[in-house]
A and B are shown apart, each in its own frame.
Chain A
Amino acid sequence: MAKDIREDISWAQINSDVLKSLESPRPMYWVIIAIALAMFSLFVGGEIYQYRNGMWVSGQNNPHVWGLYIATFIFWIGMSHSGTLLSAILHLMHADWRKPIYRFAEAMTTFSLMTAGLFVMVHLGRLWQFYYSVPYPNERGLWPNFQSPLLWDAMAIFTYLSSSVIFLFIGMIPDLAICRDHLHPGWRKKLYTVLALGWEGTDRQWRNFRVTYLTVACYLIPLAVSVHSIVASDFAMSQQPGWHVTSFPPYFVAGALYSGCAAIITLFIILRYVFRFEEYMTLPILKKTARLTFAIAMVWTYLNAIEFASVWYSHDQASKDVLIQKATGPYAFAWWGMIICGSVVPLALAFKKVQTNIPMLFSVSLLLNMGMWLERWMIVSPTFSHGYYPWTWDHDQFPSFLQWGMVFGSFGWFTLLFMIFCKVFPSISMYEVKEMVYHRSLASKMGGKGGH
Chain B
Amino acid sequence: MTQRHLLAVFNNFDEAEAVIKELRETPIKGFNFDDLTMKSPIEHHDVEEVLGSRSANVQWFTLVGSILGGLLGFFLISGAQANFYHQIKGGKPLVPLPPNFVLTYEMFILGGVFISVLGFLVCAGLPAKRSPLYSAKVQVDQIAILVKGDDSAIAALKAVFTKHQALEIQEEAGK
Check if A and B associate: yes
From B103, B106, B116, B139, A182 is in contact (CB under 8 Å) with B139
| Chain B interface size, under 10 / 10 to 19 / 20 to 34 / 35 or more | 35 or more
B38 vs chain A, min Cβ distance (A): 4
For B58, the chain A residues whose CB sits under 8 A away are: 208, 211-212, 215
Q: What 1/0 flags go to A143-185 for Cβ under 8 Å of B?
A: 1101100011001100100110011001000100110011000
Indicate if the CB atoms of B116 and A159 lie closer than 8 Å: no
Chain B interface: which of A112-120, A196-204, A302-310? A196-204
Indicate if the CB atoms of A200 and B138 lie closer than 8 Å: yes
Task: Count residues of chain A with CB under 8 A from any CB of chain B.
Answer: 54
Cα A207 to Cα B48 in complex, Å, equals: 9
Indicate if the CB atoms of B110 and A205 lie closer than 8 Å: no
Indicate if the CB atoms of A210 and B138 lie closer than 8 Å: no
For A166, the chain B residues whose CB sits under 8 A away are: 113-114, 117
Cα A10 to Cα B134 in complex, Å, equals: 22
Indicate if the CB atoms of A10 and B42 lie closer than 8 Å: no
A45 part of interface (Cβ distance < 8 Å) = no
B41 part of interface (Cβ distance < 8 Å) = yes
For B129, the chain A residues whose CB sits under 8 A away are: 198
From A11, A135, A146, B41 is in contact (CB under 8 Å) with A11
For A137, the chain B residues whose CB sits under 8 A away are: 76, 79-80
Indicate if the CB atoms of B120 and A210 lie closer than 8 Å: no
Indicate if the CB atoms of A146 and B80 lie closer than 8 Å: yes
From B113, B121, B131, A162 is in contact (CB under 8 Å) with B113
A370 part of interface (Cβ distance < 8 Å) = no
For A156, the chain B residues whose CB sits under 8 A away are: 102, 106
Q: When A152-B102, A170-B120, A209-B120 are in contact, do A143 and B84 touch as well, CB less than 8 Å?
A: yes
From A197, A211, A230, B102 is in contact (CB under 8 Å) with A230
Closest 5 A/B residue pairs (Cβ): A11-B141, A198-B128, A212-B120, A181-B136, A197-B127
Would you mind naming 17 contact pairs between A and B with Cβ atoms under 8 Å apart?
A135-B103, A137-B79, A162-B113, A166-B117, A174-B139, A177-B139, A181-B136, A197-B127, A199-B126, A202-B38, A203-B51, A207-B48, A212-B120, A219-B109, A219-B113, A223-B109, A435-B43
